[in-house]
Amino acid sequence: MNSIQDMPYKITLREVKEEDAAALLEIYAPYVRETAITFEYDVPTEEEFRERIRRVKQKYPYLAAVADGTIVGYAYAGPFIPRAAYDRSAEMSIYLRMDRKRLGIGSLLYDEMEKRLRAQGICNLYACIGVPSGGADEYLSFDSMHFHEARGYALAGTFHKCGYKFGRWYDMIWMEKLIAAHD
């Protein structure tokens, strides 16, 4: 377990359990309904979310950040591409409660994820990130891109106007970070 002590509250990390589906969905749902951070249109059901947790945990870490007994964010890894040759690569995802951004929680989650993934033999991390085609708008900014840049990720590619949500087109970028030697 890791924690951040220099906050007005203590953050601890723990493994996500299937029973956390409702709490995680409470964090994720506003991203679906109010942002283009995810290109999902419909909020998944609790059972669908529980199944997503089961699928991820078969091979990858899935962590929750907890403050005062409440989950305030989560991060997980998944297959970059589901083919054997890509088994040393993983795609990262992270979601924080909207009122808990920019407090260091995301970095704490990613630090622990990287440690666990490196121990698992993962060498490359990837993040698929929606970005505005023009300037930032009320549904999407460049915050996720900047977060990943600050964590050592570099731009690997851009797909132009590939996501359509809220009546407008968005780009999608891939960012990558090499976390281990390629022996």
Put simply, whether the predicted model's pTM sits higher than 0.75 gets the answer yes
* Residue 91: inside a domain: yes
Q: Using only the alpha carbons of the chain, give its radius of gyration.
A: 16
CATH number, domain of 84, equals: 3.40.630.30
* Residue 183: inside a domain: no
Q: What is the DSSP string of 93-124?
A: EEEE-GGGTTSSHHHHHHHHHHHHHHHTT--E
Q: Of 43, 44, 39, which Cα lies nearest the Cα of 164?
A: 39
What number of CA atoms fall less than 13 Å from residue 76's CA on the CB side? 20
CA atoms 164, 170, 171, 175: torsion sign = negative
* Residue 48: inside a domain: yes
* Residue 100: inside a domain: yes
Instruction: Work out the pLDDT band at 2, boundaries 50, 70, 90.
Output: very low
* Residue 45: inside a domain: yes
pLDDT beyond 60 at 156: yes
* Residue 78: inside a domain: yes
**Number of domains making up the chain:** 1
Domain region containing 141: 3-178
